[in-house]
Structure 1
Amino acid sequence: MSGARTTPWWDAIRIRPEIINAAGQIDDVQMSLYKAVYATGALRPAYADATYYAEITYPTDLLVGLLAEIAVRLGGGADYSKARALTRLDQGMGGGKSHACIGCWQLASHPAALAQTDLGRAVFARAGATLGRNLPPDLNNPHVVVLPCDNMTPGAPVKEIDGPAHNLYERFLWRLFSKDYTLFERYAPYFNDKSKIVEALRALNRPVLIIVDEIMDYVGNGLDGAGKPELVAQDMAFLRALLDAVNDVPNVAMLVVMIGSDTIALGNESARERRTDLHDLLERNGLPATVTANADFADILRRRLFDQAPPDEIVAAAAHAFKGIHTDKPWTKNVWDNIPGTWRGDFLSEVRRTYPFHPMLMHLAEREWATVTGFQKVRSTIRIFAASVYALQQRGKSGAWAPTLIGPGDLPLSNNNVREAILGSGLVGDQRTVANFRALAENEIVNQSDDGGAARRLDLQREPVPWSATNPRAAERGATFIFLTSIVGSRPGGRRGASAPEVKAALAAPDSDFTLTDADGVVADLVNQDKGMSAVEAIAGQGNNKPARYYLSTKLTYRTLVNSLRKTITDDERDQIIVEFAQRLANTGPFKVKRFIAADVARTPTEVLATAGLDDARITRLFILDPAQFSLRNGIEQQTIDALRVAVGLGEGTSRLPVEWASSAVFAVANTQRRGRARALAVEYLARQRALNAPEVQADADLTITGTKEMTAAKIELEKAVKRAYQHVAYLAQPNPEADRALDQITFEDENQSALDGTQVWKALADKEKVFDAGQFTARVLLYQLREQDYGRPLSEIRDAFWNTPRLPLLYTGESDLQEAIYTAVVSDELAIVDGSNQPVAVTDSSQVNLASVGLRLARPRAREDADTNGTSGSSTQQPDGTKKSSTDSGEPGSSDGTEDPTNPPAAEKFVTFPLMGNLFQQPGKSEGMAQVFRTLYSMLDEGNVSYLQGTLQLVVDASTADKLAEQVRALGLGVTVRDQ
């Protein structure tokens, strides 16, 4: 079970108001000496106040030492020589140089105010120890000359600050003499005269502090840009003289900031020569200094980010929360003993130093980030950590999960300020790589809306577990640590990325419910390229001493891009592409219309079909149902079946719709299991389509070729899957007039058949006698289909029956088939068309059969009717339409004496209809009689005496023979249904 809840750090320690107000951003983290000295009003920064400056500044030993040296030089009187005159700050970008320059300015400009702070007290104490006595509180009223060279353009003075000055020497004098024009004019001509510069410094009769910030910004490319050789000569001559002069004047101190002595990119050889010249002068006349060390990071951060120290009991409680997991044997053996760092040796002491940050994170910043060339050390660390504590505090205060201690996996990459602070810190070498890692953070770890990214999705989709509440972002935390160790390229010792034990340490939680096995599972999912991060690369382990390592690769591969894009595809996008393919692949075949019925998940399937307007008159329709909402089989088909029953008019109660033309509507429906396959391939296709369109692929010929091939292959596979998914056909059936109407189905078993193909659907329906295939509907078939009550009905009703009566098969070409059949029957004197007066109407062409007429009707030919009426002897036979027909005693039609009537020759064929229904169980005589009937039928079929056959047999047979019978029927291409009785 989880341990007792400790007081959250966001309730135990307050973030500084300026950070809260800036939503985690510290605008003045890159302090400006220029602003501190010259800005006024609203532009004047808060750190221009000595008290506030000291409040946010941790008194590191190096900073206190630098300020104490200057204090001794300025206020030490005759003992000024106990401190150096010239100091050069040459510390990497973001290492605290500007911060130190402002501290020196505060010391000289506001010594009394600074002395009231802990920083000032430390400085004056250190200086007093050097002198063996206390310094005067005002340091003998020193004067400060500030040359902020990063805000000074050679040859372009600012009148408000520089007055009449033009070159750097004159700008120095104007500041030295506090705008005293007389003194300025006296010394202005002597830019390269060391003695005159010494004299000018002595003329003030008070200590002088000279601060020259970012000198290379001025004398490097700046002087080249001025395009004034005379100015270049004057400024360099002045600097050489000044750097020599400050050592010769008591109580004068000079601080020069010149970074990157051998790394700053300069435009030409002249600039490089000036840099070398200055470097040599600074080395000869002064001493280098730094103001921060890597070990100071934790203290500097806490002072800069929080306005008070945390209570010791809360810190101790937070450290104690990790005791269980730190002493657990499996964790110790497989994780803690296999990761670098000494922070576990005295965990409580380390937590006291780093709280609210986890010592493992601070170890990463102090021991690894700080050694990366380009990393802006203190400045970048402050930005990263400030953005992180603000974002996590907002989570914690809103009731969401936040870590007990902020570890190396807890920097929230979903927060734009955090992510950009990391990417802009100098840890990443170039802008292209920065862009690549930005994309990796978004796609592989967590997106800005905090609901996507491969790792984040693993956490969001995880089934509830005992540690869900105490470590809900386990995968994201592990992925974040892999990200942080990947952006630096090579870690100490040439290591790349993060080891498996380190990843587990980063995602560990102070909860006994979260076991090592749980951590193993999270890491396994995370580094699985199909399930987790697709851009992760693994370096195989070599025994216990060399565990597996993981890193994120920014090298673009087509597979990586596809894997990444695959995870961005939504279910709606997946289903929509299936719809597009289904619509494109479908064809009408003999159907007059094909129409797609789109899903509407906001409504039930029944509501969708009931309101889709399916009931079109005298048109054979193939309706393709959207597989996103309609499918059959796999036990989830009932809603679809219910919807189809309502659509064809078979609903019950209030669900029964007044559907008239359902017989001519056929539905193509997807199979549930095959739909799943199509959905998987739809995702693959979309991922490849997007990958091919990606700018990075379009810009690479090889990737474009690969992408084109893969997308083409994916398209082919998706087309096959969509066709195969539409495995079912549903329609309204009535095998014979005595049977009830029912919803029937056809299932395609052949992989090459699809309900999207109207031709194949029609063929299958023809096998089930639901439709007539091409050429099957003849005059003879028409006569067979007619019933007694059809004679005398208007042609329009006869026509409509072939579209709205399910016992009648659908016509292949529609009305033209019916016209041709009626015409053929009329001209062969098997049918007649009569008008309202019952007079025959002559037709000379099938097109003259007006099927829309309500006045014209079908009738038997007059001669045949007369024969039926006048016949007085012989037996009668049942016609297919249910009428009786008389014959002579000899059995020959049209003759009473058995001789053939030449005017009325006997018919070449006869319709024979008989019912097949009855119980044959334990009735051997009846069974034998039926067997004899089938033997006779067999002989007729065998001899080719049967030209047309229609009907449906329903038998209850012995189970041992059912399959054999069904197999023989299927061999004829006929549909057969076998079910348990």
Structure 2
Amino acid sequence: MKQSGATPWWKALRIRPEILDASGSIADVQMSLYHAVYGSGDQRPQYADASYYGEITHPTGALTDLLARIAIRLGGGSDYTKVPALLRLDQGMGGGKSHACIGAYHLAAAPLNLAKTDVGKAVLRQAESILSRPLPKNLDNPHVVVLPCDNMTPGATVVENDGPTKSLYERFLWRLFTGDYSRYSAYREHFSNVSKISEAIGSLNRPVLIIVDEIMNYFGNGLDGVNDEALTAQDQAFMRALLDAVTKTPHTAMLAVMISSDKDSISLSPEGQRRRLDLERLLERNGKPVGAHENDDFAAILRRRIFTQPPAKEVVDATVREFKEAMDNGPWKNKVYEGLHAPWTVNFAEEVSRTYPFHPQLMHMAENEWANRTGFQKVRSTIKVFAATVYALQQRGKANSWAPLLIGPGDLPLSNTQVRESIIGSGLISDTKTQNNYRSLAQNDIVGVRDSSGTARLLDVNRGTDGGALWHHSNPRAAERAATAIFLTSIVSGRSQGRRGATDAEVKAATAVPDPAYMFADADAVLKDLTDPDTGLVSIEVTPGQKGQQTRYFLSTEQTLLMLQRAMRDTITDAERDTVIAEFAEQLTDTGPFDRKLFVRASVDRLSARDVLASAGIDDARVSRLVVLDPAQFTLRNGADRVTREAVQAAVGLGADKLPARWASSAVFAVANTQQRHAARRLATAYLAAERVLGVQETQDDADMKAKAIAERNDAKRNLETTIKRAFQHILFLAQPDDDATRGVDEVTFDDKTETALHGAIVWKAIVEKGKAFDQGTFSAKALLHNLRENDYGRPLDELRDAFWNTPRLPLLHGGQSDLRQALFDAVQTGLLRVVDSEGEEVAVTGVSEINLSSQRLRLGKRMAPKTDDETQPGPADSNAEPGPVPGTDRPGVPGSPGKPENGPLAPQEKQIAFSVTQSMLNNTGNAEDLSQLFRQLYDIIDRGDVSFLQASFQMVVNAQSADGLAERIRELGSPVHVRDL
């Protein structure tokens, strides 16, 4: 990058403190005469002080001449007749009328303070040039009467300002005599008498300035609303008389503000219109229309209003040299600057000196195009736009981000809300619908509010990421600048010769920087990127040049639904896309048999996967949890899952970096597939774009487009939900097949497209098949005994309970504690187990509710051995009694029965057998025969009813035809089966 020799403007100039304090906003840009005169406390603005007013006011020719005439009329002695008594400001909104009125007020109310400022000195010099002699600086101590008609209600007065008055004439007298009731009463009846009004004014024996602001606010619809014919007639008569009286009264001046009818959009009733015409006629007869500013004053007004001091000449000269180097040579000169046909290109140095820190191209646009637009509020709107712009760009410069040496038409940062809204609300765009359209276009097609989205902005960002452009660091916003320049010309319809948009030369000039690395060909490439039909601006219309005319570029708001969707897709950030996937996954998760679902969000603070799980609250006591991991940070397969696996291992208490995890056994992790995540991300972007299209104003205003947008949003939502469900095809859980096995993380993958790890019931079925859980209704007393170990006897019931949630070898229970309580009760009732106290004494249990799983006193005891023959021999009284059943069996306790040996220890009633088989069956008839015999024997045992509990899982590779029949038979048993083609 070429090192600039010019001091950047954000270092050379100081923005006014009040603008910095308001972050670029100028709260008092719309000045109020009423608040300047009558405001107090928070309602008294800074410009109510004459010194501050003079500090922020540039002495333009028109304003200086206006105030000089008033000064002569007030303090010119016998020469007061050399200037007219009645002056009228008739400009439209934002033309500086209120600013001029406040200047006139300070001129008369605080002449000595104003005389110390630049504008005060200029006024006195101008008056002296007219009279050929100086005026007294105090202007002979004038009195000021202010009638702010935009803050007056006919017939209703403000006591502190108006005392006992009612009519406009009475208010005038009260202000003229400063509340002197006796003098007020003496003239009160003479509202239409020109001589008496003149006499009243002359009775002060001092010059008098009368300022009547916004006359039509009072005489238009204001008088209609009062519905008092007498008051209306009196006020009209007074105003006629006053306009005549001021011309006849020495040392009296009147400044009236009444927008001319061709510039005023206010809607009036027939009576109001009649009153307007009457006042127009009187003002034209008695007064002289004057202006406050001219268009070419904009630059000086802006600099004075925004900055505390003008720039140093050497800074401006150095900046000019930077730009002139490219402007005077090669294609930039021949194909760009000469093609602009603008006067500022000829007198560039002089124009930069006038407009600095704004580029003459931007100021030329403001002065010659914006200012002539009906509805544009000239000075007011321009100040708001430019103040917000310099603040935003200064912040970039101070943060060592790129900012232009001169602020051109491409440098108004549309990502800044104040800048964007100041432009849109300036009056350049006439109707609300078009304003909304261009607001949406600016955010989507150019640059988003976070400065990280928008088609043009992303073109620049991607160019910087690719590192392909040598000039990127000196012009990192080239595409955004070009698009912004087109935007500014597009909102001003009917430019030169009625053409729309910007010329090729205008757009390229807006991208220029004083760096020889950025050549004309680069500017051409930037424009080609912007107009690319696939990746460029969706709203751009290109009109090829014909018959010597240049190509023109225009941003159209007549967008199709497809254009809007594409524009919106470019606004979706990776974070937004991943967030919506996470939100949908969380909503789609169905707990099923699990006690709780827990969604673990990805870290936005760049925490490691392990640390995210450490802070997620996964380890929860005595509840089974379906833990869904955010795909933004956790996925499996595709060679990119090491981090996820290690984090889950740590979360369940395994590995070198393990976390404390007491209840890890009862957590099952649902994890997305890496490849499926790609598809979900693509569809999430489409869904968010469809959702945002619905929110833009142009969609809401078009019924057909809205209906189509809703349908497409709904389709996008369904597709996204289906894809997210499919993406979650893995589960991980802590497993320990038997006591001697090592604990580890087991995994299940759902290959069937109808299955998802977000469905708790499906996940539960999968872990049932893995022996990790019991299905509904299968955890019986026999199943309980099957899972007990010798050291479980004598344990308190609360420890036994906890073991089913924190011991990996014990399967999870479908019904949780209720299943365990019922199984214990059934085991006790059938004599398989006992409940004992801490002393080993049996505790009677007569109901399920008496199995207190929270008890540390109650413990699990083995069943009691049956009594011996001597102990059970019936006595005389019961010699005919039949033998009862042996506990734990349905067989009677008769001697010699298998359940009761005549001598020796108690014979076991049942035994547990656990085995696993892994055999290759190919070309091995011996193995096949042996396994067949094994399964036949197992069949015989089951057929005889000798099996009281069976828990088994099989995985085998079977002939395709046999597999279908076997799978059907398994389904008939109500068991899930997975069949996969090989």
Please confirm whether the aligned pair reaches a TM-score higher than 0.5, indicating the same fold.
Answer: yes
Give 1:357 shift: 1.6
Give 1:275 shift: 0.5
* Alpha-carbon distance in structure 2 between the residues aligned to 1:94 and 1:307: 22
SS at match of 1:511: coil
- Is the CA contact 2:569–2:685 (under 8 Å) kept in the aligned structure 1? no
Moved more, 83-92 or 457-466: 457-466
Give 1:560 shift: 7.9
Q: 2:682 — aligned with what?
A: 680
Give 1:351 shift: 1.0
- Is the CA contact 2:662–2:806 (under 8 Å) kept in the aligned structure 1? no
* Alpha-carbon distance in structure 2 between the residues aligned to 1:721 and 1:916: 39
Cα 1:965/1:372, change in 2 over 3 Å: same
Q: 1:273 — aligned with what?
A: 274
Q: Does 1:307 align with 2:311?
A: no
- Is the CA contact 2:404–2:411 (under 8 Å) kept in the aligned structure 1? yes
Q: How does 1:220-369 map to 2 (within 5 A)?
A: 220-247=220-247, 252-262=252-262, 263-326=264-327, 329=330, 336=337, 341-369=342-370
- Is the CA contact 1:459–1:475 (under 8 Å) kept in the aligned structure 2? yes
Q: What is the CA deviation profile of residues 855-906 of structure 1, one whole-angstrom value per residue up to 9, with x for unaligned ones?
A: xxxx99999xxxxxxxxxxxxxxxx999xxxxxxxxxxxxxxxxxxxxxxxx
SS at match of 1:540: strand
Give 1:4 shift: 2.6
* Alpha-carbon distance in structure 2 between the residues aligned to 1:734 and 1:701: 61
Q: Does 1:579 align with 2:585?
A: yes
* Alpha-carbon distance in structure 2 between the residues aligned to 1:811 and 1:244: 101
Match of 2:553 among 548, 552, 555: 548
* Alpha-carbon distance in structure 2 between the residues aligned to 1:752 and 1:179: 88
SS at match of 1:148: strand
Q: Does 1:637 align with 2:638?
A: no
Give 1:230 shift: 2.0
Q: What is the CA deviation profile of residues 457-496 of structure 1, one whole-angstrom value per residue up to 9, with x for unaligned ones?
A: 7767752745565445556555654554555566555455
- Is the CA contact 1:624–1:756 (under 8 Å) kept in the aligned structure 2? yes
* Alpha-carbon distance in structure 2 between the residues aligned to 1:520 and 1:761: 58
What is the identity, as a one-letter code, of the residue corresponding to 2:347?
Answer: D
Cα 1:82/1:454, change in 2 over 3 Å: same
* Alpha-carbon distance in structure 2 between the residues aligned to 1:28 and 1:234: 35
Any unmatched runs of 5+ in structure 2? 796-802, 824-862, 869-883, 891-896, 902-911, 943-951, 968-976
SS at match of 1:367: helix
Cα 1:965/1:58, change in 2 over 3 Å: same
* Alpha-carbon distance in structure 2 between the residues aligned to 1:690 and 1:368: 34
Moved more, 292-301 or 805-814: 805-814
Cα 1:807/1:211, change in 2 over 3 Å: closer
Give aligned pairs, total: 889
Q: What is the CA deviation profile of residues 14-70 of structure 1, one whole-angstrom value per residue up to 9, with x for unaligned ones?
A: 334454555544444444445555668997766566665444332322233334444
Q: Does 1:59 align with 2:64?
A: no
* Alpha-carbon distance in structure 1 between the residues aligned to 2:663 and 2:117: 94
Q: Does 1:149 align with 2:183?
A: no
Moved more, 561-570 or 371-380: 561-570
Q: 1:957 — aligned with what?
A: none
Q: 2:94 — aligned with what?
A: 94
RMSD of the TM alignment (CA)?
A: 6.6
- Is the CA contact 2:295–2:371 (under 8 Å) kept in the aligned structure 1? yes
- Is the CA contact 1:566–1:686 (under 8 Å) kept in the aligned structure 2? yes
What is the identity, as a one-letter code, of the residue corresponding to 1:577?
Answer: E
* Alpha-carbon distance in structure 1 between the residues aligned to 2:480 and 2:5: 23
- Is the CA contact 1:124–1:134 (under 8 Å) kept in the aligned structure 2? no
* Alpha-carbon distance in structure 2 between the residues aligned to 1:802 and 1:285: 102
* Alpha-carbon distance in structure 2 between the residues aligned to 1:444 and 1:218: 45
* Alpha-carbon distance in structure 2 between the residues aligned to 1:540 and 1:478: 14
Q: 1:889 — aligned with what?
A: none
Moved more, 593-602 or 216-225: 593-602
Q: Please give the TM-score of this superposition, normalised by the length of structure 1.
A: 0.69
What is the identity, as a one-letter code, of the residue corresponding to 1:231?
Answer: L
Cα 1:683/1:193, change in 2 over 3 Å: same
* Alpha-carbon distance in structure 2 between the residues aligned to 1:348 and 1:648: 73
Q: 2:844 — aligned with what?
A: none
Give 1:349 shift: 1.6
Q: What is the CA deviation profile of residues 678-727 of structure 1, one whole-angstrom value per residue up to 9, with x for unaligned ones?
A: 23323444565677699998898756644553343223212321233234
Give 1:641 shift: 4.0
- Is the CA contact 2:489–2:501 (under 8 Å) kept in the aligned structure 1? yes
Q: What is the CA deviation profile of residues 224-264 of structure 1, one whole-angstrom value per residue up to 9, with x for unaligned ones?
A: 33333222222222332343455556665443221142435
Match of 1:725 among 724, 727, 747: 727
Cα 1:192/1:538, change in 2 over 3 Å: same
Q: What is the CA deviation profile of residues 426-467 of structure 1, one whole-angstrom value per residue up to 9, with x for unaligned ones?
A: 344456766776676667766777677776677677527455
Give 1:203 shift: 6.5
- Is the CA contact 2:539–2:559 (under 8 Å) kept in the aligned structure 1? no
SS at match of 2:88: strand
Cα 1:951/1:808, change in 2 over 3 Å: farther
Q: What is the CA deviation profile of residues 775-814 of structure 1, one whole-angstrom value per residue up to 9, with x for unaligned ones?
A: x9xxxxx9xxx9xxx9xx99x9xxxx99999999999999
Q: What is the CA deviation profile of residues 246-286 of structure 1, one whole-angstrom value per residue up to 9, with x for unaligned ones?
A: 55566654432211424352542211111001111222333
* Alpha-carbon distance in structure 2 between the residues aligned to 1:333 and 1:483: 25
Cα 1:803/1:213, change in 2 over 3 Å: closer
* Alpha-carbon distance in structure 2 between the residues aligned to 1:559 and 1:915: 57
Cα 1:375/1:556, change in 2 over 3 Å: farther
- Is the CA contact 2:16–2:308 (under 8 Å) kept in the aligned structure 1? yes
Give 1:355 shift: 0.8
What is the identity, as a one-letter code, of the residue corresponding to 1:273?
Answer: R
Q: 2:800 — aligned with what?
A: none
Cα 1:736/1:265, change in 2 over 3 Å: closer
SS at match of 2:371: helix
- Is the CA contact 2:650–2:657 (under 8 Å) kept in the aligned structure 1? no
SS at match of 2:346: coil
* Alpha-carbon distance in structure 2 between the residues aligned to 1:728 and 1:342: 70
- Is the CA contact 2:145–2:208 (under 8 Å) kept in the aligned structure 1? no
Cα 1:638/1:610, change in 2 over 3 Å: farther
Q: What is the CA deviation profile of residues 337-360 of structure 1, one whole-angstrom value per residue up to 9, with x for unaligned ones?
A: 665744333322211011112222
Cα 1:811/1:335, change in 2 over 3 Å: same
Q: How does 1:158-557 map to 2 (within 5 A)?
A: 167-172=167-172, 188-197=188-197, 209-247=209-247, 252-262=252-262, 263-326=264-327, 329=330, 336=337, 341-397=342-398, 399-412=400-413, 417-429=418-430, 463=465, 465=467, 470-472=474-476, 477=481, 480-481=484-485, 484-485=488-489, 488=492, 491=495, 493-496=497-500, 502-514=506-518, 537-543=539-545, 545-551=550-556
Q: 1:7 — aligned with what?
A: 7
Moved more, 376-385 or 452-461: 452-461
Cα 1:528/1:965, change in 2 over 3 Å: farther
Greater radius of gyration (CA): 1
Q: 2:837 — aligned with what?
A: none
